[in-house]
Structure 1
Amino acid sequence: MKDPFQNSTKVKWKYRFLALDAAVDTGLYRLRETLLRWLENVNSVMRRLRVTGWRFWLIQMLSGGLTMGVFGALFALSWALNDMDRTIGGLPEQEDYAVTFLDRFGNEIGKRGILQDDSFELQDLPDNFIKAVLATEDRRFFEHFGIDFLGLARAIVENARAGGVVQGGSTLTQQLAKNLFLTNERTLTRKIDEAFLSLWLEARLTKRQILKLYLDRAYMGGGTYGIAAASEYYFGKSAKDLTLAESAMLAGLFKAPTKYAPHVNLPRARARAKEVLINMVQAGFLTEGQIVGALRNPATPVDQAEKDTPNHFLDWAFEEVKRIVGGKHRVLTVKTSIDMTVQRQSEQAIDSILRENGKRYDVSEAAAVLMEPDGAVVAIIGGKDYGKSQFNRATDALRQPGSSFKPFVYTTALMNGYTPKSVIQDAPITIGNWSPKNYGRSYSGPVTLLNALRRSINTVPVRLAQAIGRDKIVEVAHRMGIHSELKITRSLPLGAAEVSVMDMATGYAVFASGGKKAIAHGVLQILDSKGRVIYDYNRTHKPEQIIPPETIAGMNEMLVSVVNAGTGRRAQLEGITAAGKTGTTSSYKDAWFCGFTGNYAAAVWFGNDDNHDTRRLTGGNLPAMAWQKIMTAAHQQVELKPMPYVEDPILFQKNHQNIQVAAAGRIKDLKTQRSNQRLSPSVVNQLDQLSKLFNHDDDASGSQPQAPELLPLPAASPNKSGSVPGLTQLKQPPSGGLSELKTAWQRDQTSIISR
């Protein structure tokens, strides 16, 4: 039997809608009848009073107006009651932060957010500043009750004459209401809310309190709120000491702080200050003669580029602080990981290289990040001039990394069974309609992974990606610290995806840490307004192994070879083992060098903001040079740490010298045996050349030969050809001399003498 109640819910809702419709119709009918009866009563009264003609219609209009007024008042009251819900808790607390930043040694390096200085009173501020604000924002401030209808009418007339918006209709109280309770959306409802809330402010506060609160809470550009913070930021002085010209420039910021900020566009800021001065004359606050000096000598803000403040670092760390504390605390002191000495030297390195080589290579910008193996950021260069551009190219810009992305490919390969000695074919390859080429368009045939990375061969990582899967490469790169989206494309292994400089430094820090996770951070400790520690990085983060040690051992060996004898030779550090990888994108738009030591990891990028091509700038050129300068500065007066799974640099040098001595001795022993072993003249000549090789160093490139391990001499007799078994046969010695002979010998992957 069918359930008779299965549609009961639908039926119930149907009858509810019908009942609602009937109620609405009934209400409208009753309203109509009420209005008709009211009109009939009015007409009856008019007939009894014998009111006719124009008097009759006048009374009708007044009656209708009164009715509409009552309904309007009731509507406004209901709207106002809704707005009053926003004021239940009184004035909202300051939602913006006041943060004082310290370097790793406890020295103050700057502030961000609101400067918590409420100690000054209005009478302490220059009289000209108060006049400049009132003349520009609200001339009748002390006369109206929160809404200025005369001021609104005047603004409409002035804007009509000018053919654009030159004056606003909102009073200073309305602007404060918006800053305290509302958003910046331009809607009719927001303007109505603004009007009611301004009336509430006028009823609750005195005029002087409203003005003081307005000056404390207004956004003034450059990450500052309030006149005190703005005065310190733009002019490096207390608000009490502002001149007339400076007062006019600051008063001009209230309308559009980002547009008129002097560090963004000084000519525009000065033009706006001139308008403010003219407003002061028109308002009757000053005479034309009193503003002549300010017009002739406009205000000059402090050059943000010349201030000894790591602004790009502070901007980045400020965002980190807000993520950590949320809305719990507002007045904070933050100890950071930055080393100001290294920061200054890094800035100088980038500046000098751009100044000396920028025109030659048609490159205008650079960015760099230096961090410790755990991700503690020591220095950030977000651009060459913070005063001209606050855009942080180290943290916010996404650029193609080119070959500097390849270590993530090789790391994935080593995690999937490959080793540095695994051999891959370097030969032309085509995937669909895409055929990647090597730099120089030459191919070497079978090569080891170590040599492929050292020489930055392109076909090998493409083949590896096909074999192991591009999705695995993306997973490993994200695990190592790359946060940007990495689209799985054919060109992914060659660095076609976009990354940030910060993320690349973080990824390479994993190699420096021995495979442990690196988290880019600039905040070490946060203290509240009472000096209590509310956050400590070391307490909340523990080391986590994310890459196997054997993989890191192989990768570090390979990346050391890039610096010692590959494309990154310009990044070599005196007495310190360095590892890294160059990166150059197609058309030379981006050039990178990313690398590490046992102490630090760093990534350096050179390019142009408008993305136009450089003049054949490669990662092994300016980026490697800048990286070398930054790393040299960072390693001054620090205890050197050995690179994980790579020999200590001092031991490496000693062992290298011992190998040279041992090799020369072994070759000498072979030469003394030539009489009874009947070595051929060609082999003797090879031994002579190798003997010279181990006793001289005339490599023009400056790279040191890496001698293979020498094993005990075999007891076997010479074969029919007269050569020693196991001795690698060299072709005719190159005509270029020992330098080319060394290069040819270094390419060989077998031992000179083996069992």
Structure 2
Amino acid sequence: MTQKGGRRGSLVADKRYSTPKKTPTPSKTPKPRKPRGKKPRPPRRGGVMGAIAGMVRFVWRMIWGAFWRFSMVIALVVVAATLYFYSTLPKYTQLLDGRTRGSVTMLDDQNKVFAWRGETFGGLIDAKNVSPYLRDAVVATEDRRFYHHFGISPRGIASAIAINLKDGRGPFQGNGGSTITQQVAKLLCLGVKFNPKEWKNEAAYENDCRSGGLKRKIKEVPYAFALELKYTKDQVLSIYLNRAYLGAGARGFEAASERYFGISAANDNPQQSAMLAGLLKAPSYYAPTNNLKRSQERAETVLTLMHQQGYLTDRQFLDAKANPATLSEAAQRRAGGYFADWLMDTIPDFLSRDTTEDVVIHTTLDQRIQSAAEEAMQSVFTNKVSKGSSAEAAIVVMSADGAVRGMVGGRKTKVTGAFNHATMAQRQTGSTFKPFVYATALDLGYTPDSMVDDAPLTVKMPGSPDWSPRNYERNFRGPITLTTALEHSVNVATVRVSEAVGRENVIKVAEGLGFAQNLPNLPSVALGVGESDLLDMTGAYAGILNGGSSVTPYGLTTLTLKGDSDPLFSKPGGIGERVISEKSARELTYMMRQVVLHGTGGRANVKGYEIAGKTGTTQSSRDAWFIGFTADYVVGVWMGNDDNTPLKGVTGGGLPAEIFHETMKRVEDGQPAKPLPMAQPSEWQAQAQQYPGETQSTGQPTQPQQPQPQQQQPQRRNPSDSILKSLLGVFGGNRN
């Protein structure tokens, strides 16, 4: 190619390579790339700081390594324990009734339940068929997250620990934060069964099962997991509803609902459900039979929880709060505690305290009469006994055949397991023994009009000092009839009659009618120095009412196992053999009627009803008695101090007669008045005309020449040969 002007330009070769870049200066040198897959080591620090940092890293690696390894071991142990417990759990239905012993249910004469002994079980219930209010109340109170956790609640445990520490307790003392599942684990004792070689008794076994502490909590965790794996939530809850103890001997919510409200757990309303759920915290303390107001306050707290958690609407909450639950009529009365305790003592242990079956006992108790006796006791002690008095009293109401209709064993009437003064207190009977003396005389042919001399008397006893009885008034009445002697409880005349008819015969009649055995063969036996309890004394008087036959007091009519119709045995008592003639019993009843009309028992009289009875006061007024009867019932009353110190200003014709009056007035209220089965004076007066009597020169009671005794006639002293000497004997008496 030529350039302009014809001159050829110089040749230049084409560039095959780009011009090489200049080498950057050191200040602009790029950073080297990091090797992939490895983190660069931080620059080492020198000195003390570097050493400390290295030590911290080392310790952390050690702790972390130990922690995850330990956690893995714990997890494996928990899994293994859970699987083990899972394999040991039985069928769900086998866990519903957890009692080791049975119960005793007592029914009154109208077949209504009035008492329970042992732990009663109302029957199997299911979480699906109980009242929904009850189910919700239990969940709201005990475990609000029950349907969402897997057996334990870490949040609940942490909250419980915080509360315990705040209250100054140990972390696992007090609140435990247990779920319902954990509580079921406790009720099942973690699958450990009672072993008498390991535990002293069942109470110690149950206390150990329910003990708290860290060790117990750790054991509960795998067991709770196993329960959740084995059973559904409703089944776990059902076990809880059936096994929980709810006070007053009620095991399970069905038994508790029947005990407190008289209805099934399926029919509980919100306020009743709240009261039952509230018992879970402290069954005996919050039991409505112990303190109804306290139980209602606890129920209100449960209602609030139910409302806050959405189980109750505003209206339901306000209605339930305004109408708190109350006890059923039977539970309010709590009648017959002493009667039930006495009955348990009369039944073999294998059918009562040690029974493994549920036993049902039909009894003779009349709850109307029982309440009447309890009200009478309270009325007299409230209105007529000084506030500082420590005196005790007892009442027994009985039919003529020995059937016990009511029993109060102490001034505190609403009790269980207390000392029963009606059956356990053996005390001297005083003048309540005297009717047995006159029963013997009447049965040997004497009449209520037979004469006896109330004059000073000294009885000689071989090997012992002579004994001279005294009258309460410290005077003498002279010749009086047997009726007058009993009517005014004349001591000397009674001893004279007893010695005349033979004290051995008197003892035989008394024991035959049911008085305590082993009476002392002493002249003073006629004045009641022998000891007996109120139940036996009332039974002996029932023998007079029924016409002279002995009775064995009884309270049981039939005993059956629950679910069976055939009784295992029937009443163990009732009317026995005849002891005195019916004629003698009728005449004695007439004499005892005069005691109430004109004698020492006037305060016992009830207007409109014929009442016969006898007062009794022992030496130094240590015991005071009144026992009497209408045509329907016998009522016995005793009063005294537990330490056997004298009563202050109390005799049998005083407070005991008034307790009798108040009791009989209530017992007979509304009942038609019936005449007493007693003889009339015309009957024995006609007999006296048929068999003219003679007197004895020794001052003994007059008697017919041809008596018709029911028992062997005792040997008599030689009668006088002249009427004059006989009269001198009656009016002069034996003045040794």
TM-score, reference length from structure 2: 0.58
Q: Are residues 1:654 and 2:682 paired?
A: yes
8 Å Cα contact 2:551-2:573 kept in structure 1: no
How far has the Cα of 1:246 moved from its partner? 3.0
Q: Which amino acid aligns with 1:624?
A: A
**Partner secondary structure for residue 603 of structure 1:** strand
Q: Report what 1:271 is aligned to.
A: 297
Q: C-alpha displacement at 1:522, in angstroms?
A: 1.6
* RMSD of Structure 2 on Structure 1 (CA): 6.7
Mapped contact 2:636–2:660 kept (Cα < 8 A)? yes
* Contact residue 455 and residue 562 of structure 1 kept, 8 A: no
Which whole-Å CA distance do the structure 2 matches of 1:439 and 1:284 have between them?
79
Q: 1:55 to 1:340 in 2, by over 3 A?
A: closer
Change over 3 Å in CA distance of 1:83–1:57 after alignment to 2: same
Which secondary structure does the structure 2 equivalent of 1:618 belong to?
coil
Residue number among 114, 132, 137 corresponding to 1:132 in the alignment? 137
Q: In 2, distance between residues paired with 1:349 and 1:522?
A: 21
Deviation readout 1:557-579 (Å, 9 max, x if unpaired): 99997885675565579998956
Q: Which amino acid aligns with 2:638?
A: W
Counterpart of 1:725 in structure 2 is 725
Contact conserved, 1:582 with 1:620, CA < 8 A, in 2? yes
Partner of 1:533, secondary structure, is coil
Residue equivalent to 2:147: 142
Verify the 8 A CA contact 1:562 1:568 in the aligned structure 2: no
**How many Å apart are 1:157 and its aligned residue?**
1.7
Q: Is the 8 A contact 1:201 1:210 kept in 2?
A: yes
Q: Pick from 378, 390, 401 the counterpart of residue 405 of structure 2.
A: 378
User: 2:431 touches 2:618 (CA, 8 Å); kept in 1?
Assistant: no
Give the conservation status (yes or no) of the 8 Å contact 1:380–1:394: no
Alignment map for 1:214-363 (pairs within 5 Å):
214-280=240-306, 291=317, 294-295=320-321, 297-302=323-328, 313=339, 317=343, 323=349, 325=351, 330-331=357-358, 333-339=360-366, 342-343=369-370, 346=373, 350=377, 357=384
Q: Which amino acid aligns with 2:257?
A: S
Aligned partners of 2:83 and 2:226 also within 8 Å: no
Q: Which residue number corresponds to residue 533 of structure 1?
A: 566
Distance 1:496 1:179 in 2: 55
Could you report, residue by residue, the CA deviation over 1:275-322 in whole angstroms, capped at 9, with x for unpaired residues?
334544676766999755555554343465865965654565577678
Shift of 1:252: 1.1
> Residues 535-561 of structure 1, C-alpha deviation per residue, up to 9 Å, x if partnerless?
2235x679888xx969x9999999997
Match among 165, 171, 181 for residue 173 of structure 1: 181
- AA in 2 matched with 1:377: V
**Contact 2:399 2:634 (C-alpha < 8 Å) held by counterparts:** yes
AA of the residue aligned to 1:172: I
Alpha-carbon offset, residue 615 of structure 1: 6.2
Deviation of residue 357 (structure 1)? 4.0
**Residues 370-409 of structure 1 deviation map (CA, whole Å, 9 limit, x = unaligned):** 23577532222456886x655767568865745459859x
**Alpha-carbon deviation of 1:580?**
4.7
Give the distance between the partners of 2:80 and 2:530, measured in 1 at CA.
Answer: 57
* CA deviation after TM superposition for structure 1 residue 254, in Å: 1.5
Give deviations 1:44-82, integer Å, cap 9, x for gaps: xxxxxxxx9648965995799599969988997999799
Q: Is 154-163 or 621-630 further displaced after alignment?
A: 621-630
Shift of 1:260: 0.9
2:616 aligned residue (574, 579, 582): 582
- Aligned pair in 2 of structure 1 residues 399, 575: CA closer, same or farther (>3 Å)? same
| 1:319–1:238 distance in 2 versus 1, CA, 3 Å | farther
* Corresponding letter in the other structure for 2:554: H
* TM-aligned CA deviation for residue 426 of structure 1: 9.1
Is 1:212 aligned to residue 238 of structure 2?
yes
Residues 666-690 of structure 1: per-residue CA shift (max 9 Å, x gap):
99xxxxxxxxxxxxxxxxxxxxxxx
| AA of the residue aligned to 1:272 | R
The aligned residue for residue 14 of structure 2 is none
Which of the pair is proportionally richer in helix? 1
Map Cα deviations across residues 515-534 of structure 1 (whole Å, 9 max, x no partner). 99865432111234454323
Verify: 1:156 aligned to 2:154, yes or no.
no
User: What whole-Å deviation, never above 9, does each CA across 1:188-237 have from its counterpart, x for those lacking one?
Assistant: 89556783765554444322122223223333233433333433443445
Distance 1:178 1:498, change over 3 A: farther
Aligned pairs for 1:456-475 within 5 A: none
Letter in 1 for 2:134: F
Residues 512 and 649 (structure 1 numbering): CA distance in 2 closer, same or farther, change over 3 Å?
A: closer
Q: Distance in 2 between matches of 1:613 and 1:146?
A: 64
Note the C-alpha offset of 1:256.
1.8
Offset at 1:264? 1.6
Shift of 1:621: 2.0
Residues 288 and 295, structure 2, Cα contact 8 Å, conserved in 1:
yes
Q: How far did residue 268 of structure 1 move?
A: 2.0
Q: What are the superposed Cα offsets for residues 425-482 of structure 1, whole Å, 9 maximum, x if unpaired?
A: 599xxx9xxxxx989695989999x98994569xx9xxx9xxx9xxx99xx99x9669
For the Cα contact (< 8 Å) 1:560–1:577, is it kept in 2? Answer: no
- Alpha-carbon separation, structure 2, partners of 1:316 and 1:310: 10
Matched AA of 1:334: I
Higher relative contact order (CA 8 A, sep 6+): 2
Partner of 2:35: none
Q: Does the Cα contact within 8 Å between 1:251 and 1:276 map onto a contact in 2? A: yes
Per-residue deviation, 1:267: 2.9
- From 596, 600, 622, the equivalent of 2:655 is 622
Alpha-carbon distance in 2 for matches of 1:482, 1:275: 58
SS at match of 1:334: strand
Give the conservation status (yes or no) of the 8 Å contact 1:480–1:510.
no
Matches within 5 A, 1:625-636: 625-627=658-660
Residue deviations 1:323-369 (CA, integer Å, cap 9, x gap)? 46357774555332234565565556556655664569979975322
- Residues 262 and 727 of structure 1, relative CA distance in 2, 3 Å threshold: same
- Aligned-residue sequence identity (percent) comes to 28
| CA distance in structure 1 between the aligned counterparts of 2:82 and 2:133, rounded to whole angstroms | 40
CA distance in 2, matches of 1:300, 1:218: 21
Cα pair 1:563 1:581 within 8 Å, conserved = no
The verdict on how the C-alpha distance between 1:402 and 1:378 changes in structure 2, with shifts beyond 3 A counting, is same
Question: How far did residue 626 of structure 1 move?
Answer: 4.0
Q: 1:241 to 1:406 in 2, by over 3 A?
A: closer
TM-score by length of 1: 0.56
Counterpart AA for 1:605? W
Q: Does the C-alpha gap of structure 1 residues 373 and 83 become closer, same or farther in structure 2, counting only changes over 3 Å?
A: farther
On the 8 A contact 2:92/2:235 being kept in 1, the answer is no
For residue 725 of structure 2, give the secondary structure of its aligned residue in structure 1: coil
Tell me the residue number matched to 2:395: 368
The answer on whether the counterparts of 2:96 and 2:124 sit within 8 Å (CA) in structure 1 is no
In structure 2, distance between residues paired with 1:162 and 1:198? 28
CA contact 1:556–1:579 (8 Å) conserved in 2? no
The amino acid of 2:165's aligned partner reads: A
Other structure's SS at 1:268 match = helix
Could you say what secondary structure the match of 2:242 adopts?
helix
Cα distance in structure 2, aligned partners of 1:87 and 1:516: 58
- Residues 543 and 550 in structure 2, CA contact (< 8 A), matched pair in contact too: yes
Tell me, in whole angstroms, the C-alpha distance in 2 between the residues paired with 1:58 and 1:492. 92
